[in-house]
C-alpha cells in the first residue's frame, strides 16, 4: 500500500521511492475482532477489552509449533499492511510536538512490522490454531514469525 493518508501538521513523508530489498514468507494470519476503525493502539489497550485473538498457522508450518504450550509467552511479528510506509516524522495524538518514526511504535514506518508479546491461552497444533490473550492488529493481518519470549534474554538490564 502506498500509504497516502492525510498528513497531520508537522508530519513529513519520504520523498524518494522505497527500495524493496527483501522477501518475506507469511506463516499464517491473525483473526482478531478489530477493523481499521476500531483497532486498539497497543497491546495494553487490546488487553483492557478482554478480547482475545486466534493465530491461524499454514499447514506447512504447523510442525514448527512443537514445544509451544498454553500459558507460554510468545513474541509475534506481523505485517501491518494497511499502514503508510513513507512517514519519516509523525505527530501522534498522544505526542502533540511529534517525533521521528523510529522513536515511535506506530505501524506507519518503512517496514510496517508489528511486534507484540502475547500469552497463549489455547493450542490446537494439528489444525494450526493458537489462541492468544490479545492483539493490536486488524483481522486478517499476515503473521511473519513466532518466537518464544525469554525475559532473561529479551529484557534489557534494569528493566
Q: Alpha-carbon distance 34 to 73, whole Å? A: 22
Tens digit of each residue's pLDDT (9 = 90 or more) over 148-157: 999 989 888 8
- On whether residue 33 sits in a domain, the answer given is yes
**Predicted pLDDT at 18:** 83
Residue 145 lies in domain = 23-149
pLDDT at 2 over 60: no
Where is average pLDDT lowest: 14-18, 44-48, 86-90, 123-127? 14-18
Domains: count for the chain: 1
Q: Is-contact 100 22, C-beta < 8 A?
A: no
Highest-confidence range of 10-14, 18-22, 28-32, by mean pLDDT?
A: 28-32
- pTM metric for this prediction: 0.88
Structural domain contains residue 62: yes
Q: Does any domain span residue 35?
A: yes
In a domain, 64, yes or no: yes
Q: Is residue 116 part of a domain?
A: yes
The answer to the question of residue 2 being in a domain is no
The answer to whether the CB of 102 falls within 8 A of the CB of 93 is no
* pLDDT score of 28 more than 70: yes
- 124 in a structural domain: yes
CATH at residue 57? 2.40.30.70
Residue 107 vs residues 91, 136, 148, 155: alpha-carbon distances, Å: 13, 10, 22, 22
Q: What is the DSSP string of 112-138?
A: -EEEEEEEEEEEEGGGTEEEES--SS-
Residue 4 confidence (pLDDT): 58
Q: Please, what is the average pLDDT of the chain?
A: 93
Length of the chain as a residue count:
159
In a domain, 89, yes or no: yes
Segment holding 155, helix H or strand E: none
CA–CA gap between residue 82 and residue 138 (Å, rounded)? 9
Strand order through the sheet with 99-100? 12-13, 87-90, 99-100
pLDDT tens digits, one per residue of 83-120: 999 999 999 888 778 999 999 999 999 999 999 999 99
What pLDDT sits at residue 95?
A: 79
Which candidate, 74, 67, 78, places its Cα nearest to that of 28? Answer: 78
Grid cell 488487553 — which residue? 47
pLDDT reported for residue 96? 79
- Higher-confidence residue: 137 or 96? 137
What is the rounded distance in angstroms from the CA atom of residue 38 to the CA atom of residue 33?
A: 9
Amino acid at each position: 500500500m502506498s500509504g497516502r493518508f492525510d498528513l497531520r501538521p508537522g508530519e513529513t513523508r519520504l520523498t524518494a521511492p522505497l527500495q524493496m530489498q527483501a522477501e518475506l514468507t507469511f506463516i499464517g494470519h491473525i483473526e482478531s475482532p478489530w477493523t481499521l476503525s476500531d483497532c486498539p493502539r497497543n497491546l495494553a489497550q487490546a488487553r483492557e477489552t478482554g478480547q482475545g485473538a486466534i493465530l491461524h498457522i499454514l499447514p506447512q508450518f504447523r510442525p514448527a509449533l512443537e514445544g509451544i504450550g498454553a500459558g507460554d509467552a510468545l513474541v509475534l511479528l506481523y505485517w501491518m499492511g494497511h499502514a503508510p510506509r513513507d512517514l519519516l516524522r509523525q505527530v501522534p495524538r498522544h505526542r502533540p510536538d511529534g517525533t521521528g518514526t523510529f522513536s515511535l511504535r506506530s505501524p506507519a514506518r518503512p517496514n510496517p512490522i508489528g511486534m507484540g508479546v502475547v500469552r497463549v491461552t489455547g493450542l490446537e497444533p494439528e489444525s494450526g490454531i493458537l489462541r492468544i490473550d490479545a492483539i493490536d492488529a486488524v483481522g486478517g493481518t499476515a503473521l511473519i514469525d513466532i518466537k518464544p519470549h525469554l525475559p532473561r534474554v529479551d529484557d534489557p538490564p534494569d528493566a
